[in-house]
Homo-oligomer: A and B are copies of this chain.
Amino acid sequence: MPILIKMEEDKFSDWYHRIIEEAGLIDMRYPIKGMLIYRRWGLFMIREMQRFLEARLEACGHEPCLFPVLIPDDILGKETEHIAGFEDEVFWVTHAGKNPLERKLALRPTSETPMYESFALWIRSHTDLPLKVHQSVSVYRYETKHTRPLIRGREFLWNEGHSAHATAKDAAENVEEIKGIYSDLINSLLCLPFTISRRPDWDKFPGATETYAFDTLMPDGKTLQIATVHNLGQNFSKVFGITFDTEKKDKEFVWQCSYGPSFGRLLAAAISIHGDSKGLVLPPAIAPVQAVVIPILFKKTEKDNQEIIDYAKDILEKLRGMGVRCEIDLGDQHPGEKYYKWEMKGVPLRIEAGPRDLAAKKVVAARRDTGAKTDLAVQDLSKVFGIFDEIASDLRKKAEERFSAGMLKAKDRKSLDKCLGEGIVSTGWCTEKICADKIEETCSILSVGEAESTCVIGGKKGKEIKTAKTY
């Protein structure tokens, strides 16, 4: 079975655009560039990610909240570095009905500024800390780069977490805790490999002191940034006046973090990294349908067929009763056509129920990822959960093998150029801006490490860096 271990950019792009519409994930025909319609198959998986993440955030003390989508211009503009980073990308509401508004209102590009206005009201004392909130919403950025469905859009779905702490140490610990939660979302739930990089200063979130980014590797050898965690220090608390009374009754500014994964990008990564030439291959935990029952009808009399159909329906009900998200395909097509359709949609397990299965009180369970078939006795149907675990584990392993194969090293410019688009390339940089600019003519610098290395541009001594072509 050909997997998407490495595909040329154009070929991958064709596959991707075809499968996201054919499988019913989204509809790209919405008449605004960079905005799309989420349909059931895509929306379900995003909601599963959201549920997983929200439960984890709330278990460690985050309160759910929901802020308005509109932000007054003076509040968005309060932190100068922050607004400088977003001002070219903001959608502005200027009119209501036929009348101009007194003050223009931004569609939220992110919610630091309006939230921190409220933090200043909510936080009074050290007993109010830590304050952690999260919301799952759409955000809006007028992307001028080429848009790509789920990967770079002008409206995208994410969860944003925001926290305030009494000390820098508490904020740093929160950064580590969130890294752990996002790692579980990406690897445990979605079976995806990733690397966490501390972004170089020029690529930090506007207003942050440190930005950590989660990158995964797409089949065309480019990295995709799927989540970020920012340590904001006291930058925002000083601008928004978020102070608290310490135990000693001193007034101090809080230390803050903000963080968010992009659900659309996570979905794009899961589709692309696990998918194959037949279409989607979905991790069972997020699959809208985890198993599809297909009755295999051979007999010519309707009575015989009805027996098989009843048997298949009974299997369906048994699986649903166990909590499996299960459907049955009773359409008129030939079984082969049905196989093709459900394979394309990525359903992890196909349950075939034919005359021989009925006679032996069993079914055949066929795995989407490997094609492997197993007989399952009706009294052992709960073994599907074990198969789901195996599928997840195998998807994770395969993806990690490919990810490891994409970790490359380049000692000089020539070998760097050769490696770009093949994965994440370790190389060297002298730490001078002029050389960074030259490196970034062909790729992005994901992170600057501590280890010593030789600059790939000028040959001076420098630091090891990680580079890649990025989305």
22 interchain pairs (CB within 8 A)? Answer: A27-B118, A27-B121, A29-B118, A29-B121, A30-B68, A31-B72, A31-B117, A32-B70, A37-B65, A38-B66, A39-B65, A40-B63, A43-B65, A47-B64, A68-B155, A69-B138, A88-B97, A89-B96, A91-B93, A91-B105, A92-B95, A94-B94
Interface presence of A36 (CB below 8 A):
yes
With A35-B68, A68-B36 as contacts: A95 and B98 at CB distance below 8 Å: no
Interface presence of A87 (CB below 8 A):
yes
> In the complex this chain forms, how many copies of it are found?
2
Other than the given A30-B114, A69-B138, A91-B95, 14 more pairs (CB < 8 A) read A30-B118, A32-B105, A36-B68, A37-B65, A40-B65, A43-B65, A43-B66, A88-B98, A89-B97, A92-B94, A92-B95, A92-B96, A93-B93, A93-B107
| Cα(A407)–Cα(B89), bound, Å | 54
| Cα(A305)–Cα(B65), bound, Å | 36
- Which residue in chain B gives the minimum CB-CB distance to A88? B97
CB contacts under 8 Å to B, within A186-236, are none
Neighbouring B residues of A381 by C-beta, 8 Å = none
| Cα(A37)–Cα(B121), bound, Å | 13
A236 smallest CB distance to B (angstroms): 17
Interface presence of A75 (CB below 8 A):
yes
Q: Once the chains bind, are B91 and A96 in contact (CB under 8 Å)? A: yes
A60 smallest CB distance to B (angstroms): 15
Neighbouring B residues of A105 by C-beta, 8 Å = 32, 91
Neighbouring B residues of A16 by C-beta, 8 Å = none
Q: Once the chains bind, are B75 and A31 in contact (CB under 8 Å)? A: yes
With A29-B118, A31-B117 as contacts: A66 and B92 at CB distance below 8 Å: no
Interface presence of A67 (CB below 8 A):
yes
